[in-house]
Amino acid sequence: MPGTNLTRDEARERARILSVDGYEVELDLRSAVLPVAEGEGAGRFRSRTLLRFRCSEPGADSFADLLAPEVHSVVLNGTALDPALVFDGTRIALPGLAEENELVVEASCAYSRTGEGLHRFTDPVDGETYLYTQYEPADARRVFTTFEQPDLKAPFSFTVTAPSHWQVFSNSPAGGDPVAVESGLTWQFAPTPRISSYITAVVAGPYHVARDHYTRALPDGRRLEIPLGALCRASLAQYFDSDEIFTVTKQGLDFFHEEFDYPYPFGKYDQAFVPEYNLGAMENPGLVTFREEYVFRSKVTEAAYEGRANVILHEMAHMWFGDLVTMQWWDDLWLKESFADFMGAFAQVEVTKYQAGWITFANRRKTWAYRQDQLPTTHPITADIRDLEDAKLNFDGITYAKGASVLKQLVAYVGRDAFFEGARHYFKRHAFGNTTLADLLAVLAETSGRGADAMAEWSRAWLETAGVNALTPQLVTDSSGTITGFAVLQEAAAENPTLRPHRIAVGLFDRDPDSGALVRTRRVELDVVAGARTEVPELVGLARPALVLVNDEDLTYCKIRFDEASLATLRESLGELEDPLARALSWSALWNLTRDGLMPARDYLEIVLRFAGRESDIGVLQSLHQQARTALDLYVAPEAREEWAGRLAEGALGELRAAAPGGDHQLAWARFFAQTARSEADLQLVGGLLAGTARVDGLSVDQELRWTLLHTLAAAGVADEAALDAELARDDTASGKRLLTACLAARPTAEAKAEVWRQVVDSDQLPNALVEAQISGFQAAAGGAARELLAPYAEPYFEVLEKIWSERSIEIALRIVSGLFPRLVTTEATLERTDLWLREHEAAAPALRRLVLEGRDDLARALRAQRRDAARG
Ligand SMILES: [Zn+2]
**CATH at 338:** 1.10.390.10
Residue 343 sits in the same domain as residue 320: yes
Nearest to 777 by CA among 797, 749, 800: 749
Question: What ranges in 319-434 are assigned the alpha helix state H?
Answer: 334-351, 357-360, 366-373, 388-393, 403-414, 416-430
Task: Please report whether residue 150 resides in a domain.
Answer: yes
Query: What residues contact 234, with CB distance under 8 A and at least 6 apart?
Result: 123, 126, 128, 206, 207, 208
* Ligand 1 centroid distance, CA of 793 (Å): 35
Give first-to-last CA distance, the chain, whole Å. 50
Task: Please report whether residue 629 resides in a domain.
Answer: no
* Ligand 1 centroid distance, CA of 163 (Å): 32
* Ligand 1 centroid distance, CA of 282 (Å): 7
Residue 39 has pLDDT above 70, yes or no: no
Question: What ranges in 224-283 are assigned the alpha helix state H?
Answer: 242-260
* Ligand 1 centroid distance, CA of 254 (Å): 20
Task: Please report whether residue 805 resides in a domain.
Answer: yes
CB atoms within 10 A of CB 385: 22
| Sign, Cα dihedral of 529, 535, 539, 545 | positive
Q: What ranges make up the beta strands (E) of 292-352?
A: 326-327
Summarize the confidence of residues 592-618 as an average pLDDT. 97
Residue 261 sits in the same domain as residue 356: yes
* Ligand 1 centroid distance, CA of 339 (Å): 8
Residue 121 sits in the same domain as residue 220: no
Residue 133 sits in the same domain as residue 188: yes
Per the prediction, the chain carries an average pLDDT of 95
Summarize the confidence of residues 411-419 as an average pLDDT. 91
Summarize the confidence of residues 607-626 as an average pLDDT. 97
* Ligand 1 centroid distance, CA of 336 (Å): 7
Summarize the confidence of residues 799-811 as an average pLDDT. 95
Cα Dmax for the chain:
92
Question: Where a domain ends, among 466, 498, 521?
Answer: 466
Length of the chain: 873
388-412: pLDDT as tens digits: 988 988 899 999 999 999 999 999 8
Determine what percent of the chain is predicted with pLDDT higher than 70. 98
- Specify whether the CB–CB gap between 184 and 204 falls below 8 A: no
* Ligand 1 centroid distance, CA of 264 (Å): 17
Asked whether the whole model's pTM tops 0.95, one would answer yes
Summarize the confidence of residues 378-396 as an average pLDDT. 91
Query: What angle do the packed helices 580-595 and 618-630 form, to 10 degrees?
Result: 10
Residue 783 has pLDDT above 80, yes or no: no
Task: Please report whether residue 658 resides in a domain.
Answer: no
Buried b (16+ CB within 10 A) or exposed e, 207-225: bbbbebebebeeeeeeeee
Q: 25: part of which helix (H) or strand (E)?
A: strand 18-28
Confidence band for 57, pLDDT divided at 50, 70 and 90: very high
Confidence band for 2, pLDDT divided at 50, 70 and 90: very low
Buried b (16+ CB within 10 A) or exposed e, 532-570: eebebeebeeeebbbbbbbbbbbbbbbbbbbbeebbebb
Q: Tell me, what's the pLDDT at 42?
A: 65
Residue 38 has pLDDT above 80, yes or no: no
Buried b (16+ CB within 10 A) or exposed e, 613-647: bebebbbbbbbbbebbbbbbbbbbbeebbeebbeb
Residue 350 sits in the same domain as residue 443: yes
* Ligand 1 centroid distance, CA of 318 (Å): 7
Task: Please report whether residue 725 resides in a domain.
Answer: no
Residue 440 sits in the same domain as residue 503: no
Summarize the confidence of residues 242-268 as an average pLDDT. 97
Residue 214 sits in the same domain as residue 182: no
Q: What is the DSSP string of 655-715?
A: HHHHSPTTSHHHHHHHHHHHHH--SHHHHHHHHHHHHTSS--TT----HHHHHHHHHHHHH
CB atoms within 10 A of CB 299: 15
More confident residue, 643 or 782: 643
Is residue 315 annotated as a catalytic residue, yes or no?
yes
Question: Where a domain ends, among 181, 198, 215?
Answer: 198
Residue 431 sits in the same domain as residue 490: no
Instruction: Tell me how far apart the alpha carbons of residues 275 and 294 are, in angstroms, rounded to a whole number.
Output: 11
Partners of residue 525 on adjacent β-strands: 505
Residue 93 sits in the same domain as residue 168: yes
Summarize the confidence of residues 826-853 as an average pLDDT. 96
Residue 453 sits in the same domain as residue 494: no
Instruction: Tell me how far apart the alpha carbons of residues 844 and 853 are, in angstroms, rounded to a whole number.
Output: 12
Number of domains in the chain: 4
CATH of the domain at 142: 2.60.40.1730
Cα 507–Cα 622–Cα 697 angle in degrees, nearest 5: 120
* Ligand 1 centroid distance, CA of 280 (Å): 9
Residue 465 has pLDDT above 70, yes or no: yes
Give the pairing of strands 184-188 and 179-181.
antiparallel
Task: Please report whether residue 656 resides in a domain.
Answer: no
Task: Please report whether residue 684 resides in a domain.
Answer: no
Among the options 26, 148, 306, 315, which is catalytic? 315
Instruction: Tell me how far apart the alpha carbons of residues 291 and 313 are, in angstroms, rounded to a whole number.
Output: 15
Give the pairing of strands 434-435 and 326-327.
parallel
Residue 97 sits in the same domain as residue 230: no
* Ligand 1 centroid distance, CA of 308 (Å): 13
Question: Where a domain ends, among 444, 466, 488?
Answer: 466
Task: Please report whether residue 671 resides in a domain.
Answer: no
* Ligand 1 centroid distance, CA of 407 (Å): 15
Residue 610 has pLDDT above 70, yes or no: yes
Residue 818 has pLDDT above 80, yes or no: yes
Range of the domain at 586: 469-556+558-596
* Ligand 1 centroid distance, CA of 341 (Å): 7
Residue 497 sits in the same domain as residue 451: no
